[in-house]
Amino acid sequence: MKNHDRFLVVTGFIFSQLYERLPWRISINFEDICNVFVTREDNDVMPWQEIFCATIKWLTDEGYISSDWENSNNLCVNLKLTRISLRSLLAFTKMDEPMLVGDVLVEAADSGNLEALRIYGRAALMASSWPNY
């Protein structure tokens, strides 16, 4: 899997966790969740760990989430969605039976569906830039 695909999977997963626990802030430790990303086909933990750290930083820098980062042990504390990301997670999908993007991401995370996390993580990032939404 390419780095940009891993970035989208991690983004989708982070959004799913924050959306599912609204309005509370949460903490995420990479070691506790790495089993979601590491598969038989893609079993190298290191790229996932690096992408996880870089994704949290990017999402924070770009205003999608707010967080306090403790890089020494790959722990992100006090994560929460910002208005920008919440707006995109409340967008409807264009599926036969429309669902909220956030709900689709939660289902994908619960089932370990990396492809759905990638697709709807991307959709969430794109939806935040849609006008009049």
Query: What is the tens place of the pLDDT at every residue in 113-131?
Result: 999 999 999 999 987 665 5
Q: Say what the pTM is.
A: 0.86
Instruction: Look at residues 80, 78, 79, 94 and name the one whose alpha carbon lies nearest to residue 126.
Output: 94
The 10 Å Cβ neighbour count of residue 129 is 9
Q: Are 79 and 65 in contact (CB under 8 A)?
A: yes
Q: Percentage of the chain surpassing pLDDT 90?
A: 44
Q: What's the pLDDT score for residue 22?
A: 92
Quote the strand ranges of the chain, DSSP E: 26-29, 65-70, 75-81
Q: What's the pLDDT score for residue 132?
A: 46
Query: What is the tens place of the pLDDT at every residue in 25-68?
Result: 998 887 777 777 776 666 676 777 888 888 988 999 999 999 87
Average pLDDT score over residue span 84-112: 88
Q: What's the pLDDT score for residue 121?
A: 94
> What Å distances lie between residue 81 and 43, 88, 103, CA to CA?
29, 11, 15
Q: Rounded to whole angstroms, how far apart are CA atoms 93 and 59?
A: 22
Average pLDDT score over residue span 93-106: 86
